[in-house]
Amino acid sequence: MLEVRSLTKRFGGLSAVKEVTATFETGRINAIIGPNGAGKTTFFNLISGFHRPTSGRITLEGRDVTGLRPDRMAALGVGRTFQTTSLFDQATVLDNLIVGHKLRTQSTFWDVMTNSARLRADERACRAKAEEVLDFVGLAPIANRLAADISQEERKRIAFALALATDPKIVLLDEPAGGVNPEETVGLANLIRKMVRSGITVCLIEHKMDMIMSLADRIVVLDHGEKIAEGTPAQIRANPKVIEAYLGADYAAA
């Protein structure tokens, strides 16, 4: 599905991501873990097109997509969420989601000026998509609530819904369960499983180890920008390098 080869990003003299090679397979939940400052978010920014890699290649379904702009990556099927989601607080939840499907529409500026049939059809399609993804993430009951009035967990679900509205093949989730309570974390983990069951490949960054270990099919561990380990949760838990760099002896024993 998505492959990176010797991906490197240097900011001045600092290598934020160094020679990382990894493969994210279709229909899997891939996790990226590592201590703060390990280069996880930079890695996501490289894949989603926000940073241009210093060297290395990114291929999506066999196609070279290295250095493409974020909007092009989105069009090719790479969706993503951010650690914090900025919504238009004075609009309803549903209103916030409608724009998410715009990239799959064809209307031009002329269509807007004439309010053409094509524009209206596109707007109906976007609204329908917004309702569909809202239902998918379980927020249909709050569709008409103001975005200012929703909880942190609901905001996380909306971030998922926005990414899903772009019809992605792969979704990059940056700390999807950051700042929500344990009970809600379980709910979000279930939602991620549901996304994978619907045919989407997931790649996530997360610090909540219990969640990662039960959720991920494969884990990549980054430290100081380098990949120090890769494998199944069981392999990662037993890896001495990972224990030293990130997990700590307590977690390995438990």
What residues between 111 and 150 interact with other proteins by CB under 8 A? 112-113, 115, 119, 122-123, 126, 135-136, 138-141, 143-146, 149
Choices 5-13, 57-65, 160-168, 210-218; region in contact with other proteins by CB under 8 A: 160-168
What residues between 9 and 48 interact with other proteins by CB under 8 A? 48
In single-letter form, the type of residue at position 142 comes to I
Annotate 170-208 with DSSP letters as a single string: EEEEESTTTT--HHHHHHHHHHHHHHHHTT-EEEEE---
Q: Is the CB of 93 or the CB of 247 nearer to other proteins? A: 93
CB of 253 to other proteins, least distance (A): 32
Site string for other proteins, 165-194 (x = CB under 8 A): xx--------------------x--xx-xx
CB of 139 to other proteins, least distance (A): 8
Q: Is the CB of 10 or the CB of 104 nearer to other proteins? A: 104
Q: How far apart, in whole angstroms, are the C-alpha atoms of residue 188 and residue 177?
A: 7
Q: Is the CB of 73 or the CB of 219 nearer to other proteins? A: 73
Q: How far apart, in whole angstroms, are the C-alpha atoms of residue 34 and residue 228?
A: 9
Of 203, 174, 177, residue with least CA distance to 190: 177
Rg (CA), the chain: 19
CB of 177 to other proteins, least distance (A): 14
Angle at 235 between CA 53 and CA 183, to 5 degrees: 85
What residues between 51 and 110 interact with other proteins by CB under 8 A? 69-71, 74-75, 79-80, 82, 85-88, 90-92, 98-100, 102-103, 105, 107, 109
CB of 129 to other proteins, least distance (A): 12
Contacts 24+ apart (CB under 8 A), 132-137: 133/97, 133/100, 133/161, 133/162, 133/164, 133/165, 134/93, 134/94, 134/97, 134/161, 136/161, 136/164, 136/194, 136/198, 137/161, 137/164, 137/191
The binding site for other proteins (CB under 8 A) comprises 48-50, 69-71, 74-75, 79-80, 82, 85-88, 90-92, 98-100, 102-103, 105, 107, 109, 112-113, 115, 119, 122-123, 126, 135-136, 138-141, 143-146, 149, 162-163, 165-166, 187, 190-191, 193-194
